[in-house]
Amino acid sequence: MITLYGAPASRVHRVMWMLKELEITFDHVPTDFLRGGTHEEKFLRINLNGRVPVLVEDGNQSVPCPQERVFARAGRSLGGRAGDAVELLGGHGG
């Protein structure tokens, strides 16, 4: 299971869109960076950088991103379909 942390009104919306387009089931944990949610101790245990989006897959190590890292991580869990998501969202691989 994938868990995505962040506020939909931030760049997290692109990651949410990509996950939905690839039909990946995920949980969303709203994290309000404008009100200090990314600097709370609970969040900092997930990502010491205090930035969103963050993707956690099957409870394993979190992936703070640039978006492309999240796309690549999701694509690996789907057998390599991340390139389609990056192209769809107007990004670039790498």
Distances in Å between the Cα of 56 and the Cα atoms of 3, 28, 80 are 5, 10, 18
In CATH, the architecture of 2-88 is 3-Layer(aba) Sandwich (3.40)
Give this prediction's pTM.
0.68
Judge contact between 5 and 54, C-beta under 8 A.
yes
Residue 36, C-beta contacts closer than 8 angstroms, at least 6 positions apart: none
Give the model's pLDDT for residue 83.
Answer: 54
DSSP state of 52: S
What's the angle, vertex CA 11, arms to CA 54 and CA 22, rounded to 5? 75
Distances in Å between the Cα of 11 and the Cα atoms of 16, 23, 78, 79, 92 are 9, 19, 22, 24, 15
Instruction: Dump pLDDT digits (tens) for 26-84.
Output: 899 998 888 888 889 988 888 888 888 888 877 776 666 656 666 666 666 665 555 55
CA distance 10 to 53: 8
Give the model's pLDDT for residue 29.
Answer: 92
Give the model's pLDDT for residue 1.
Answer: 79
